[in-house]
Amino acid sequence: MRGEAMENICRRLQNSGEPLSAYSALEFFAREGEWQTKSYAHLVKELHLWELDPIYENALKINFPQGHIRIGDSFKLAQEPQYRQRFNWLVLDNPQMIYGDYCEHFEALNLAAVLMASVGVLIFNVNKKPFNYDRHTDWQDRRRAYYGCNAAHLATSFLLDFYRKRIEKLGFNVRYMYEEPRNTEYLSYIVAGVSRPDPA
């Protein structure tokens, strides 16, 4: 079941008291929303869906009639003033490998500093053991530069430590962080509860 991992996340966070029903959510790479967005769309207060390819617009309107849908480059939409610190629930279901000028979630994650509200949940894909990796030297180079090591196989302990530090550098406190596997081969979510420090 494609949405099982996201359903697990929602159930765990609701049980721990995370107030999803008060949250404004953003699906940064929406496509048609079939894979995971349906797992949480009914749980949040407000749903925004951003998708580059207009071929998915009609499906998004059918699947999420209550959703605020924007067709365009999510990286550019993120710079619009109305979205500054708007979202409590940010999902980066990023493509794998390199797409355009971007790679995995590497650049998108930095936008959490702009998009996230004072408290919320950040969820993004991590590729622990890329498939067909030896065929893509450019992808290898981008991962090596990002992680600072040979990134052909990354352990959970390494990833949790790496992303805690990365998210803290973006200006957040990390309230909790854990891995939620999406499959048994290579793909997981990192789930991080974040908050902005109180002004001094």
Q: Could you report the per-residue pLDDT of 61-108, keeping only the tens digit for each?
A: 999 999 999 999 999 999 999 999 999 999 999 888 899 899 999 999
Cα 128 from Cα 78, distance rounded (Å):
27
What is the pLDDT at residue 2? Answer: 64
What is the pLDDT at residue 131? Answer: 80
Domain membership of residue 48 (yes or no) is: yes
Give the chain's mean pLDDT: 94
Indicate left, alpha or beta for 155 from its phi (over 0: left) and psi (-120 to 50: alpha): beta
Domain membership of residue 184 (yes or no) is: yes
Residue-range definition of the domain harbouring residue 104: 4-195
Look at the chain and report how many structural domains it folds into. Answer: 1
Residue 1 predicted with pLDDT over 50: no
CA dihedral over 131, 133, 135, 140, signed as positive or negative: positive
What is the pLDDT at residue 199? Answer: 67
Q: Could you report the per-residue pLDDT of 108-167, keeping only the tens digit for each?
A: 999 999 999 999 999 999 999 988 787 889 999 999 999 999 999 999 999 999 999 999
Domain membership of residue 60 (yes or no) is: yes
What is the pLDDT at residue 200? Answer: 56
Domain membership of residue 200 (yes or no) is: no
Q: What is the mean pLDDT of residues 43-51?
A: 97
C-alpha separations of 116 from 53, 58, 170, 173, 192 in Å: 24, 27, 11, 12, 12
What is the pLDDT at residue 134? Answer: 76
Q: Which residues, at least 6 apart from 75, have a Cβ–Cβ distance to it below 8 Å?
A: 102, 107, 108, 111
Domain membership of residue 104 (yes or no) is: yes
Q: Could you report the per-residue pLDDT of 18-46, keeping only the tens digit for each?
A: 999 999 999 999 999 988 999 999 999 99
Cα 142 from Cα 105, distance rounded (Å):
11
Nearest in space to 40 (alpha carbons), one of 66, 73, 10, 79 = 10
Q: Which residues, at least 6 apart from 161, have a Cβ–Cβ distance to it below 8 Å?
A: none
Q: Provide the CATH number for the domain around residue 188.
A: 3.40.50.150
Domain membership of residue 121 (yes or no) is: yes
